[in-house]
């Protein structure tokens, strides 16, 4: 009996001795008021130790949180995680067109789906199934855990838009790849960012913007661009939750399992929060003096039909990185999910 008790005690001591506490930092260039940052804190950080305890693991994570650019700015999110300035955090792939072009695919495939949750679930699946997507993160010494994104884009202008003709010659804020969405309409793309849009419209630098309502409403863009024209250019992947690969390799299997599961949940939870805010802001626009209309369906279809083959241009430019495989797999999953894209970019 004594031997048996001694053996049990030895096993218990051994298990306790093997338990690890990992000191990790979670950070972001943006504040927690944004869903894709806030959920890092409330879900990933807030739930990780609860999940470890629930699965019977003795391992724990001691988190340090640093949001709102306290460690680095928005242009350095990828390097911050890859170089170990933070152990984990939100990475904005939308600013990494040269290093991570495959992760920017949705910006070259507009008019596919307004369903953010479904779009990001597909992007997570593709990261698990298409090696080229995972390799893009591996090359930067980052492990991808879950995609982040924004809802569909619409128009906010200081003039009414009743048809596509109304956009001809107008200066429209559409930075980066989104400039390609409006060039063929005869509009003039203007560079900018959410914090600069208000002043650019107010001072006449631009006449309107292609924008997400979850960004436009808090910045009160409706005050200078009160005509809101619903178009539905599509939901977009903008980045994701990543963790430094060297740090990841040093974690226990229990911690890896929990963080992997939380990464998947992070994608869905923050996307649902984004869509809830979108619905709220859309409903409030008339109350703050905005005029909300919907672009006629025929005009939306013409807009989509007359777009140049952006996906092919993107695919050709990144052929050596596996872009065509990613595009084919993406559109196949979109069709399988019943999302009914206005454009099947593999058929253009």
What is the pLDDT confidence band of residue 281, given thresholds at 50, 70 and 90?
very high
Report the mean per-residue pLDDT for the chain. Answer: 95
Is a pLDDT exceeding 60 seen at residue 2?
no
| 332: CB partners within 8 A, 6+ apart | none
> What mean pLDDT do residues 297-324 have?
97
Among candidate residues 109, 68, 71, 77, the one with its CA nearest the CA of residue 95: 77
At 18 the pLDDT is: 81
Phi and psi based region of residue 176 (left: phi greater than 0; alpha: psi -120 to 50; beta: remaining): left
Cα(114)–Cα(234) distance, integer angstroms: 5
Q: CA separation (Å) from 77 to 2, 17, 86, 212, 239?
A: 57, 36, 9, 21, 10
At 328 the pLDDT is: 98
Angle at CA of residue 290, ends 284 and 293, nearest 5°: 95
Cβ atoms 130, 325 nearer than 8 A = yes
Among candidate residues 202, 203, 222, the one with its CA nearest the CA of residue 211: 222
| 284: CB partners within 8 A, 6+ apart | 217
What is the pLDDT confidence band of residue 5, given thresholds at 50, 70 and 90?
very low
At 30 the pLDDT is: 92
Q: CA separation (Å) from 133 to 37, 129, 211?
A: 22, 9, 27
What is the pLDDT confidence band of residue 320, given thresholds at 50, 70 and 90?
very high
The model's pTM: 0.92
Q: What is the pLDDT of residues 263-277, one digit of tens each?
A: 999 999 999 999 999
Q: What is the pLDDT of residues 62-74, one digit of tens each?
A: 999 999 999 999 8
Token pair 């128009």: residue: 155
* Span of 16-20, 49-53, 127-131 with lowest mean pLDDT: 16-20
Is a pLDDT exceeding 90 seen at residue 130?
yes
Domains, the chain, ordered by start:
21-100+114-148+236-278 (3.40.190.170), 154-234+287-336 (3.40.190.170)
> What mean pLDDT do residues 4-30 have?
70
At 10 the pLDDT is: 44
At 324 the pLDDT is: 97
At 196 the pLDDT is: 94
Among candidate residues 118, 104, 124, 127, the one with its CA nearest the CA of residue 335: 118
At 308 the pLDDT is: 97
At 6 the pLDDT is: 46
Q: CA separation (Å) from 108 to 163, 178, 183, 241, 330?
A: 24, 8, 14, 22, 12
Helical axes 323-336 vs 310-317, angle rounded to 10°: 140
Say what percent of the chain tops pLDDT 90: 93
Is a pLDDT exceeding 70 seen at residue 12?
no
Is a pLDDT exceeding 80 seen at residue 61?
yes
Among candidate residues 133, 148, 142, the one with its CA nearest the CA of residue 324: 133
Query: Which stretch of DSSP H or E encloses residue 71?
Result: none
Q: What is the pLDDT of residues 136-180, one digit of tens each?
A: 999 999 999 999 999 999 999 999 999 999 999 999 999 999 999
Query: Which stretch of DSSP H or E encloses residue 279?
Result: helix 253-284
């Amino acid at each position: 009996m004594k031997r048996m008790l001694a053996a049990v005690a030895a096993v218990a001591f051994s298990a306790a001795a093997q338990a690890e506490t990992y000191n990790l930092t979670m950070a972001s260039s943006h504040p927690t008021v944004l869903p894709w940052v806030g959920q890092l804190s409330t879900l990933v950080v807030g739930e990780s130790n609860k999940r470890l305890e629930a699965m019977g693991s003795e391992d724990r994570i001691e988190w340090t949180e640093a949001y709102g650019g306290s460690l680095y700015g928005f242009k350095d999110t990828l390097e911050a995680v890859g170089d170990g300035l933070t152990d984990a955090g939100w990475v904005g792939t939308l600013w990494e067109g040269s290093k991570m072009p495959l992760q920017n695919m949705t910006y070259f495939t507009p008019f596919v789906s307004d369903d953010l949750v479904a779009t990001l679930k597909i992007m997570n699946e593709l990261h698990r199934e298409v090696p080229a997507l995972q390799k893009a993160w591996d090359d930067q010494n980052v492990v991808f855990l879950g995609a982040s994104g924004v809802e569909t884009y619409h128009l906010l202008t200081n003039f009414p838009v009743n048809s596509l003709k109304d956009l001809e010659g107008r200066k429209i804020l559409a930075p980066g790849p989104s400039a390609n969405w409006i060039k063929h309409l005869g509009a003039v793309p203007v560079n900018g960012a959410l914090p600069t849009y208000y002043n650019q419209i107010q001072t006449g630098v631009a006449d309107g913007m292609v924008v997400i309502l979850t960004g436009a409403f808090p910045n009160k863009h409706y005050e200078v661009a009160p005509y809101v024209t619903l178009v539905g250019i599509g939901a977009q992947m903008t980045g994701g939750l990543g963790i430094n690969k060297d740090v990841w390799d040093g974690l226990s299997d229990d911690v890896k399992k929990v963080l992997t599961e939380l990464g998947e949940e992070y994608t869905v939870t923050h996307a649902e929060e984004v869509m809830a805010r979108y619905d709220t802001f859309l409903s409030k626009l008339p109350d703050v003096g905005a005029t909300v209309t919907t672009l006629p369906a025929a005009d939306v279809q013409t807009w989509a039909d007359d777009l140049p083959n952006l996906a092919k241009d993107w695919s050709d430019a990144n052929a050596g990185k596996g872009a065509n495989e990613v595009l084919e797999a993406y559109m196949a999953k979109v069709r399988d999910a019943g999302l009914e894209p206005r454009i099947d970019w593999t058929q253009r």
